[in-house]
Amino acid sequence: MKQSSLHLKRFIGPNVELLRGAIVAAALVAFLSTFLNTAYGDEPALPSSEVPAAVAPATVAAGAKLQTLFEDKSYYEGPAWDPRSGRLYCTRFMDANTQVLRLDAPGKVTVWMDKTRGVNGLYLGNDGRLLAAQGQAKAILSMKIGADGPEETKVLATSKTWHAPNDLCQTPRGDIYFTDPDFGPMKSSTVYRIDTTGKVTAAVTDMALCNGITASLDGRTLYVGDSNRKHWRSYPIADDGSVGQGKLFFAPQGDNKWDPDGMTVDARGNLYLTGMGRVWAVTPTGKLLGSVPTPEFCSNVRFGGADNKTLYITGQHKIYGLAMAVPGRPSPAPPAIAHK
């Protein structure tokens, strides 16, 4: 017998029960880890260690920095770019009033819609009309983008039972998904779907505080931010527009705990997520590409500009612009099924 084998045998003899206990404990830990991941459907989706969070993603134009396009003491949300007018629209919260502004040039804005009754998230619909989540009035609106303000406003859905519709998006087939967060006890936050016939159904009910929302380029994945749990989840969308079981998509680590909020998608399908002090760029599978720090709380993002290569960022007191190397999601085309 070799000397090393002899030493091993002498060690195992009196410590066999200790080793058995260690083996059992390790097996128990492995079982619990697998059980918890299976039970809650949450597979780890943390940022890749290969890309430090402080590194700007390669999708940002070389040398680009945040440019302040407008600022005052208000809070800004819901950016939406209209390629027809070549203008950015966003919501402004000031005291008891909310407005929709049009950014005409750096430092110059026009009040496009006043006293909006709580319009928050905006989204350019497939038909070129502006979709709006109207929080105070508990409604989802569709508005023609007029030169001096909204025209032909339609209420697509409304319910007194909703909390306050927050953010929304539309998939290529025409379905509209919007978040209705429960900022109180956080027991009834819901993502709703409005199908092309106008029928409203609950699509997601497993989030503590759903907030920002968007869909993948092909409309087969729904992404939703949870402002309470400080992470983002993804949900499969079936051919009929129904939503399947979700899973953890992205959960960055860090000391900043600013809420996850709005998001957008570029032409490659990469996502740009606002929250926790940064705009996080991640692949459609949740791999971190890098991030851009924001000095103030950042509420939402949207691509736009003449070449669709400006990332507009809204937040506390400011509207920023960031030059990008990759364009945003292409301008919407009319859906195969028209939304009534």
pLDDT in tens, 36-49: 333 333 433 344 33
Convert the pLDDT of each residue in 173-225 to its tens digit.
999 999 999 999 999 999 999 999 999 999 999 999 999 999 999 999 999 99
- 24-28, 59-63, 297-301: least confidently modelled range: 24-28
Give domain status of residue 333, yes or no.
no
Give domain status of residue 16, yes or no.
no
For CA atoms 145, 150, 155, 159, give the dihedral sign: positive
pLDDT at res. 54:
78
> Residue 226 sits in a domain of what CATH number?
2.120.10.30
pTM assigned to the model: 0.84
Convert the pLDDT of each residue in 306-329 to its tens digit.
999 999 999 999 999 999 999 999
3-state secondary structure of 24: helix
* Average pLDDT over every residue of 84-108: 97
Give domain status of residue 20, yes or no.
no
Give domain status of residue 215, yes or no.
yes
Question: How far apart are alpha carbons 302 and 212 in whole angstroms?
Answer: 12
Nearest to 333 by CA among 83, 150, 22: 83
Convert the pLDDT of each residue in 201-210 to its tens digit.
999 999 999 9
**Count: domains in the chain:** 1
* Average pLDDT over every residue of 131-155: 98
Question: How far apart are alpha carbons 209 and 255 in whole angstroms?
Answer: 20
Give domain status of residue 51, yes or no.
no
At a CB cut-off of 8 Å and minimum separation 6, what does 265 contact? Answer: 214, 215, 216, 217, 271, 272, 328, 329
**% pLDDT > 90, the chain:** 79
pLDDT at res. 333:
52
3-state secondary structure of 62: coil
Read off the pLDDT band of 11 (50, 70, 90): very low
First-to-last CA distance in the chain? 84
Question: How far apart are alpha carbons 275 and 257 in whole angstroms?
Answer: 8
Give domain status of residue 181, yes or no.
yes
Nearest to 89 by CA among 57, 136, 128: 128
Give domain status of residue 197, yes or no.
yes
Q: Which domain range does residue 102 map to?
A: 67-323
Give domain status of residue 338, yes or no.
no
